[in-house]
Amino acid sequence: MLYQSTRNKNLTATSTQAVLHGLAPDGGLYVLPDLKALSFDWRAALAQDVRGMAASVLGALLPDYEDMPELVRRAYDGKFETDELTPLVKVGDDYVLELFRGPTSAFKDVALSMLPQLMTAARKQEKLTDEIVILTATSGDTGKAALAGFCDVEGIKILVFYPDQGVSAVQKAQMVTQEGSNVGVCAIRGNFDDAQTGVKTVFSRVENENLLAGKGVRLSSANSINIGRLAPQVVYYFKAYADLVKQGRICLGDPVDYVVPTGNFGDILAGYFAKELGLPVGTLVCASNANDVLTEFIRTGRYNRVRPFHKTYSPSMDILVSSNLERLLFYVSGGDDAKIASLMAQLRETGEYQVDDAMLSSIQTQFWAGCCDDKATQETIGKVWKDCGYLCDTHTGVAWTVAQQYKKERSGSAPVVVLSTASPYKFPVAVLDAIGEDASSDEFKVMDRLHDVTNVPVPKQLASLRSRAVRHTDVIDRETILDYVLEKVSRKDWF
């Protein structure tokens, strides 16, 4: 089975090509038209350890790769705090799936450890001799996870742009101390939108004006619309399910509900993929913060991005256009590429669209949605710490709050798994404040204080940040990103 664009079934690609290209040529997202038709042996996958599960799931979703078990081994060996990669922890009556035990303490590590392996192997299999330069604009978590993932990977370089006024002190320190001979980090004067718009302009001008022709270099992106970032996330839904069976909480075949703190809709869409591959997923609960565009969409079928943008304590979920939703629309429309092209054109031109009743009813039988503000999130963090002795970050706090809303409305017997996407030490100010302590100090002191008060270990890569040498000091204006990229690309050695 070939990949195809969500907007045009004639634009096809193998899985290795889809990973290399990222986006389809018409701006659509690459999808396999029928996941059920893969006839995935989900029972056999559940019987394996997490690496075996990963090799099976990735092998099914990305069938053109020659040696998936080896790629999985290289991606994860020695990089995570635990061999389990994503441990499941019982908290109160529910479960927390910890996705933040990787090298940068955010869930993006699960995918961005794997993507460089998938890109390198695709480059080899496709016999591509061009060097790949990854460009990424980041609001914090993605940039660092991508830098760590691509650090010293052969044949690939990476440039990360972050807004100088838009990331936390910890996030900035994580990026500017990044080691490796193939990495670059540069601040953009402005906010995240300035950085993102600047990078998008580079992609389109390089493409339209053929600015890299004959230079032996091509640009690519580590953005979450790449299928190579989505596929690795399907694995932890299986892992959590297998753990619940092992613990005797459920029998094989019983449903499990998953609650997902959602931004770009990649994490929760991976749960939908798991379900299509046969895993007995019950309800997928989409949790949002004050940016509640997805809550409204799942409840009404109307997507409307024309609304105020709220800056919250869960910044990785501050988003108005959730790109990966397009893939879900494709599947629930029965693969109607013309319809998806038309909905996306409406979104671009008017800022909104409405799906038909059949699509909405398919979404509502599989998804439930809720949202909460910063105040409720902090109350939850305080309460979970006080009642259960479990410290969670702000994104997880949103998900936990929505999980309780969901349980109130639909009391069932299925276990509820809350996906936890970041270490509390990545957002120490909001977390310390939430457990009732004074957080009015610099972020690193607050981190120490959070540790003194809770005794929860600080991830070692965050604890050591203060003593690391700063390696990246460039700061530029958004208008000069293209010149900056072209100059960098023309240089062979970056360090």
Ligand X SMILES: *Cc1c(COP(=O)(O)O)cnc(C)c1O
Contacts with ligand X, residue ranges (CB under 6 A): 106-108, 141, 224, 261-267, 316-317, 395, 421-422
Smallest distance from ligand X to CB 422, Å: 4
* Cα 308 from Cα 310, distance rounded (Å): 6
Distances (CA, A) of 216 to 24, 129, 131, 180, 275: 22, 7, 6, 21, 41
DSSP secondary-structure letter at 179?
-
Pairing mode, strands 217-220 and 302-304:
unpaired
Torsion of CA 302, 306, 311, 315, to 10 degrees: 50
Torsion of CA 139, 57, 237, 72, to 10 degrees: -60
Residue 412 CB: number of other CB atoms within 10 A?
Answer: 12
Helix (H, G, I), strand (E, B) or coil at 286: strand
Whether 370 contacts 402, CB under 8 Å: yes
- Token pair listed for 127: 């016999």
Residue 407 annotated as catalytic: no
- Token pair listed for 158: 């990476």
**Closer residue to ligand X (CB): 264 or 312:** 264
Task: Give me the phi and psi of 351, to 5 degrees please.
Answer: 85, 5
**Closer residue to ligand X (CB): 108 or 327:** 108
Contacts of 459 (CB under 8 A, 6+ apart): 81, 105, 423, 425
3-5 β-sheet, strand order: 8-13, 3-5, 30-31
* Cα 273 from Cα 287, distance rounded (Å): 18
Smallest distance from ligand X to CB 144, Å: 10
**Closer residue to ligand X (CB): 14 or 233:** 233
**Closer residue to ligand X (CB): 38 or 321:** 321
161, containing H or E segment = strand 156-163
Residue 168 CB: number of other CB atoms within 10 A?
Answer: 16
Task: Give me the phi and psi of 428, to 5 degrees please.
Answer: -65, -30
* Cα 472 from Cα 179, distance rounded (Å): 9
Strand partners, 347: none
- Token pair listed for 489: 């690309």
**Closer residue to ligand X (CB): 56 or 316:** 316
* Cα 454 from Cα 473, distance rounded (Å): 34
Nearest C-alpha neighbor of 399 from the set 109, 165, 107: 107
Task: Write out the DSSP string of 387-425.
Answer: HH-----HHHHHHHHHHHHHHHHS--SS-EEEEE-B-GG
**Closer residue to ligand X (CB): 378 or 421:** 421
Out of 9, 79, 108, 275, which one is annotated catalytic? 108
Give me the active site residues, please.
108
